[in-house]
Structures are given as structure tokens and as C-alpha cells.
Amino acid sequence: MENLPLLPLPKAVLFDAYGTLFDVYSVGSLAEQLFPGKGQALGVMWRDKQIDYTRLVTTSNDGAHYQPFWDLTRAALRYACKRLGLNLTTAREGQLMNQYRHLSAFPEVREVLRALKDLGLATGILSNGDPAMLEVAVKSAGLEDLLDHVISTHVIRKYKTHPQAYALGEQACGCSASQIVFVSSNSWDALAATWYGYRTLWVNRSGLPFEELGTQPTHTGASLRHVLDLFPH
């Protein structure tokens, strides 16, 4: 892990939710039960189409076609099943959507958030998820006491990577982007947050290359635990 640049210590740490704190591919085991041999493929395509839809509704007609993240998640599931030729009955859809509502948190999440709180830092989520989804996910993972802010882009009816989405973090924390570390396992999210002005940590759990657009995240690590290396303790 690289050393922290000679800058004032950040005042807050904000995390992306889906893929960073909550494992979006944890639905794969249920998907495999419902569609043997196709569970992994469904999980990947579902996630990719979900993100595609957030970009589509944000950039088309100045957001006139916005839909909440929950609705886009359902639409993405239906598309992925049609694309893979899977029979998505009403019952199966209900099971998979309920599983998505209660995604598993990565095992190190509580430990990291507790350590940041013990260091006196403000913590929070900045997510595309709509408020109801985030409330259930946070409660299911037992994280309510470890988060000062749970910020949803739903309030502006635009999704990341729109600059207004990242501005919500500054507004909630009451400080500038340069005083906030933004943590995401999604490379596109880490890149856009870096462009916006956040100090960023890209959590590269899978050892993937970063985006080839001329900008690197401030920091890169293989686990959420690497955020603790940015602070003396």
C-alpha cells in the first residue's frame, strides 16, 4: 500500500454500497439453485445491465426517464433472464429480488467501520441505491451504529457518475471533496470520484486492471482494510 501524500488528514470516509460494502454477487448461490449451471452468468449479466440502466436514465433527456434503483434492478433481472433464455416466473423474481434486498456484507466491513469510528472519523455510504433499499441493507448487516450518513442519489434523480451525485457527499459531511476519502470497488466509480476531487481508494478484490483513461485513483488496495492504512493509528 502506498504512503499517504503530505496532505491534511481526511475528516470523513464515504463508501459505495453495492459491490463495495455489500456483495452483489452473493445472489449467485440462489440464482444457481433456481437456474442450475446459469447462476454465475445471471449474477454478472444482472449487475452489468443494472449499471447500464443507471447510465441510460441519467444521460438521456436530462434525466426525464429516471427510475428508482430498485426498479432498474428488477428491469435488469428481467433483461438478463431473457438474454440467457431463463424462465423467470413471478415466484423466482420475488425470491431473487428479496435476496438482492438483503445482500451479504463483506466480512471485513464491521471491523473497518468500527476502526474508523474509533479514530474519530465520520463514516457514510454514498450510493445509487434508493433510500428504502439502503435502509434494509444497512439493517440486515447490522451497520446502523457505524454509519453517520447514508446518502442516496435518489434525492437528485441522477446516478453516479453524475457530478451532482458526488456533490451529495460534500453536502452531507460539511466539508470539501479533498477532505473526504471515497472508497469503491467499482473502477468506474473510483475514477469518476477522483475526477470530481475526492481522495479515492479503489478496492481491487479481483486483481483487475484499472480504467485506461489517464487518471488513477489516489490509492489502490485489495481489501477494505487498506483504508485504515491512510490514517495513523
Q: Tell me the per-residue pLDDT of 66-84, one tens digit each, with 9 for 90 and over.
A: 999 999 999 999 999 999 9
pLDDT at res. 61? 87
pLDDT at res. 5? 47
Tell whether 16 and 114 lie within a shared domain: yes
Rg (the chain; Cα; Å): 18
Backbone φ, ψ for residue 99 (5° rounding): -65, -40
What whole-number distance in Å separates Cα of residue 185 and Cα of residue 206?
Answer: 9
Among residues 16, 23, 130, 189, the one annotated as catalytic is 16
Tell whether 226 and 150 lie within a shared domain: yes
Of 49, 72, 101, which marks where a domain is finished? 101
Q: Are 229 and 7 in contact (CB under 8 A)?
A: no
Closest CA to 38 of 94, 80, 70: 80
Structural domain range at position 128: 12-23+104-230
What whole-number distance in Å separates Cα of residue 217 and Cα of residue 17?
Answer: 18
Per-residue pLDDT tens over the stretch 118-161: 999 999 999 999 999 999 999 988 999 999 999 999 999 999 99
Tell me, yes or no, if 145 is annotated catalytic: no
Q: How many CB atoms lie within 10 A of CB 64?
A: 8
Asked whether residue 3 is domain-assigned, the answer is no
Tell whether 73 and 118 lie within a shared domain: no
CA atoms within 13 A on the CB side of 220: 14
pLDDT at res. 145? 93
Asked whether residue 1 is domain-assigned, the answer is no
Tell whether 204 and 143 lie within a shared domain: yes
Asked whether residue 88 is domain-assigned, the answer is yes
Tell whether 18 and 62 lie within a shared domain: no
Where on the phi/psi map is residue 53: left (φ > 0), alpha (ψ -120 to 50), or beta?
alpha
Label residue 170 exposed, middle or buried (CB < 10 Å: 0-12, 13-18, 19+).
buried
How many domains are contained in the chain?
2
Tell whether 112 and 82 lie within a shared domain: no
What whole-number distance in Å separates Cα of residue 213 and Cα of residue 191?
Answer: 9
Residues in the chain with pLDDT < 70? Answer: 1-7, 233
What whole-number distance in Å separates Cα of residue 54 and Cα of residue 92?
Answer: 24
- Cell numbers for 67, please give them: 427510475
Tell whether 17 and 118 lie within a shared domain: yes
Residue with cell 416466473: 89
Tell whether 198 and 150 lie within a shared domain: yes
Tell whether 63 and 92 lie within a shared domain: yes
Q: DSSP secondary-structure letter at 104?
A: P
